[in-house]
Amino acid sequence: MEFTAEIDIMPLDALLDPQGKAVSGSMKNLGLSEITNVRIGKHITLKVKAKDKSEAEAKVDEACKKLLANQIMEKYSFSLKELVA
Amino acid sequence: MEFTAEIDIMPLDALLDPQGKAVSGSMKNLGLSEITNVRIGKHITLKVKAKDKSEAEAKVDEACKKLLANQIMEKYSFSLKELVA
């Protein structure tokens, strides 16, 4: 079986997000002051082959822990969709 | 009314994603060769005040077009959820 994974990796809520703050400021300059609390992270898509969904989940979780997310500063979440051949 | 927006900004499908390619290669080194086609983009969350959902959508769309996404190389999509005070 093959699955596509959609992964979101965001700065931990307690952490300051300087990039997000800067973009929030720019919103005001664009006349979009109703937009606040901008926080910026990574969106990653990938394909994973596995014998079933739970194995696919375990592999994506391992990839997040080992490579994609820095767990000291970031949190991650993901969803899986089966790819119909 | 206030809404939270979840925005995904990804490289256009036709474009090479060197960062994604590099990460795909690293997966092999981690023994996760079942993971392929890694593509990396931005996940942005923000809050927006508006009188209704369609106005909120228009503001987020404007923010994506003017600031958050580089439409020559990126595509964007977003979802809105009403914040219950």
Nearest-Cα residue of chain B relative to residue A44:
B40
Tokens of B2: 């206030």
**Please, are residues B38 and A5 in contact by the beta-carbon 8 Å criterion?**
no
CB contact under 8 A, A37 and B59: no
Domain map of chain A by residue range?
Answer: 2-82
10-residue averages of pLDDT along chain B (85 residues): 97 92 93 96 97 97 96 96 88
Nearest Cα residue to A17 out of B64, B84, B45: B45
Digit-coded pLDDT (tens) for B44-68: 999 999 999 999 999 999 999 999 9
CATH of domain A2-82: 3.30.1280.10
**ipTM for this prediction:** 0.92
Nearest-Cα residue of chain B relative to residue A68:
B23
Task: Identify the pLDDT of residue B84.
Answer: 85
A81 CB-side CA count, 13 A: 8
CB contact under 8 A, B9 and A43: yes
| Cα maximum dimension of chain B | 51
Tokens of B17: 């994603």
CATH of domain B2-83: 3.30.1280.10
Give residue for tokens 């959820």: B81
From chain B, the residues in CB contact with A45 under 8 A are 10, 37-39, 41
Share of chain A above pLDDT 70, in %: 99
Digit-coded pLDDT (tens) for A23-59: 999 999 999 999 999 999 999 999 999 999 999 999 9
What strand order describes the sheet that includes A2-11?
A: A74-82, A2-11, A35-49, B35-49, B2-11, B74-83
The answer to whether B47 faces chain A, any CB pair under 8 Å, is yes
Terminal CA-CA length for chain A: 9
Name the residue among B37, B45, B67 with its Cβ closest to that of A39: B45
